[in-house]
Structure 1
């Protein structure tokens, strides 16, 4: 058997010195790539640039290890054309702002020259994690996207218990629950819309969140049969682990499979190779395409290698 070549793998991510390695999915992916002897080019957003219609980056070779506070070492720095890389993983966390959009334009230049980009830059732009889910309204809770406070007020009065969240953030940041007769409705809606200058999403509250906000992972259209159910802590609306939620590993139920199997070919066709679905009860609430998490929690408890599946896909596309 011929020895597989060493791949040049770029990863665009947040500063690696700030991550929690026991929970960080990007770190888990890099560990798998390193185990397979691939060359890892570490890139931050500030490192990307365009010059003479070509995409470039300052990259640093990186070696990593599972040691808290001593988990990485930069080996060498260079400025290269992104065309020299075999694959680039776009793993920058939200906010999903114009700077993120600009980065996808740069990555798209490399993609046009044959570099595999995960996830596809155009689809990262097209598929806002909150609004994209609303396309599949037969699976979602009743939803309104608006910056009109009067519309928000009418929605709240109809459902009496709602969740309001921004369209561009993650981890439960700036997510509010407004119950019936809450005197804070106006101030929350003013803040969330910046006085009707910014869109946000308002959804009917799902009481089943107390049983867990499930994160279901999909790799190249293949649904992982185990999910992470994030259980909110007492007196907390948000189930996100970043907001103190407790992770439980569960098998997918019948409704989970129905939603995931419906979406998986659509995601695959769009070049969304690594995706995380958020499901509360039997309702789809978000489709995470920028930097899905929860690999570590599943791999720690279940004998499955999600990172291995992702690296297998990458290798099969390039070899």
Structure 2
């Protein structure tokens, strides 16, 4: 297969932990060709004279090498229609901003022209990472989504210990905990809510965070046997690795496996080949579909080759779509 990865600039990859790099390495090992581009490299233009309209991208073909720091060699940029690839993998990291949204529309157009895109762009738009949990209330902690400061205060009065976070955050950015004393609640509301301009997610605090915020990966609707528990360090309430959390791989519990399978079976048919659940205790707090991570940490600590599981699932998905 010839695979196109739409991603952040590859020179920014931290290859010892980057999941997209792990995908590329496994794909190359299995004999697949790799090309890369950034969302800004995609375009669509209507040629009135020839009548051809295609989503194309200025791509580079790359070959991975073992040398560091130059871990790849790349060819010259060339313009290629996305439909000419066997699969297009959308691996642009959040935030899910306007440009990400527009990129998914270009990818949807490419699908109409015959491209096979994973994860499906329409589902990337329809499954925002914070709000997707609302579809599965049986698996979540008490949760509020609102633009009204009074709603947040009432939720705090009821639950006493709460977490507040912006809907467009990533890597733990903008997350606050407010305990029963309500210290700084007003200031936090003003910061996140901006006078009613921004929606905020508020959740009951889960003390099980001390044991880790578990990243549970789902590939092709089935949970990976191991998860990555991201454990807060020191006085930090956030387990995100970007916020200094320690990643510890561990087998899935029976409860987490059942939860992941139920959510995976619901979402995989929508074109979501790869999903990352965030679970604290037994409660799902987020459903990540843009560019879930954790492959290398799990593989390095357990020997479970997550990248191999993913590329095998990708091969099956492409074959079934052919």
TM-score, L = length of structure 2: 0.94
TM-aligned CA deviation for residue 68 of structure 1: 4.4
Q: Is the 8 A contact 2:130 2:286 kept in 1?
A: yes
In structure 1, what is the equivalent of residue 81 of structure 2? 81
- 2:300 aligned counterpart, secondary structure: helix
In structure 2, what is the equivalent of residue 172 of structure 1? 172
Q: Distance in 2 between matches of 1:96 and 1:122?
A: 13
Give per-residue Cα distances to partners, 1:248-295, cap 9 Å, x unaligned: 111111210221121111111111101111100010101110000000
In structure 2, what is the equivalent of residue 301 of structure 1? 301
Structure 1, unmatched stretches of 5+, are: 1-6
- 2:20 aligned counterpart, secondary structure: helix
- 1:76 aligned counterpart, secondary structure: coil
TM-aligned CA deviation for residue 124 of structure 1: 0.4
In structure 2, what is the equivalent of residue 257 of structure 1? 257
Q: Distance in 2 between matches of 1:67 and 1:284?
A: 40
TM-aligned CA deviation for residue 72 of structure 1: 2.5
In structure 2, what is the equivalent of residue 39 of structure 1? 33
Q: Is the 8 A contact 2:44 2:55 kept in 1?
A: yes
In structure 1, what is the equivalent of residue 108 of structure 2? 108
Q: Is the 8 A contact 1:118 1:272 kept in 2?
A: yes
- 2:35 aligned counterpart, secondary structure: strand
Q: Distance in 2 between matches of 1:164 and 1:66?
A: 43
Q: Distance in 2 between matches of 1:73 and 1:186?
A: 52
2:15 corresponds to 1:21: yes
Q: Distance in 1 between matches of 2:236 and 2:66?
A: 32
Q: Is the 8 A contact 1:12 1:88 kept in 2?
A: yes
Q: Distance in 1 between matches of 2:317 and 2:138?
A: 34
Give per-residue Cα distances to partners, 1:77-136, cap 9 Å, x unaligned: 101111111101101111111211110111111212332211011100000111111211
TM-aligned CA deviation for residue 76 of structure 1: 2.1
Q: Aligned residue pairs: how many?
A: 313
1:49 to 38, 43, 47: 43
Give per-residue Cα distances to partners, 1:111-169, cap 9 Å, x unaligned: 12332211011100000111111211111011011111111111112111111111122
Label 1:313 to 1:114 Cα distance change in 2 as closer, same or farther (>3 A): farther
In structure 2, what is the equivalent of residue 127 of structure 1? 127
CA RMSD across the alignment: 1.3
In structure 2, what is the equivalent of residue 3 of structure 1? none
Q: Distance in 1 between matches of 2:62 and 2:158?
A: 53
Q: Is the 8 A contact 1:64 1:71 kept in 2?
A: yes
Moved more, 107-116 or 215-224: 107-116
Q: Is the 8 A contact 2:119 2:289 kept in 1?
A: yes
TM-aligned CA deviation for residue 314 of structure 1: 2.3
TM-score, L = length of structure 1: 0.95
Q: Distance in 1 between matches of 2:269 and 2:29?
A: 29
Label 1:114 to 1:191 Cα distance change in 2 as closer, same or farther (>3 A): same
Q: Distance in 1 between matches of 2:178 and 2:278?
A: 21
Q: Distance in 2 between matches of 1:82 and 1:179?
A: 50
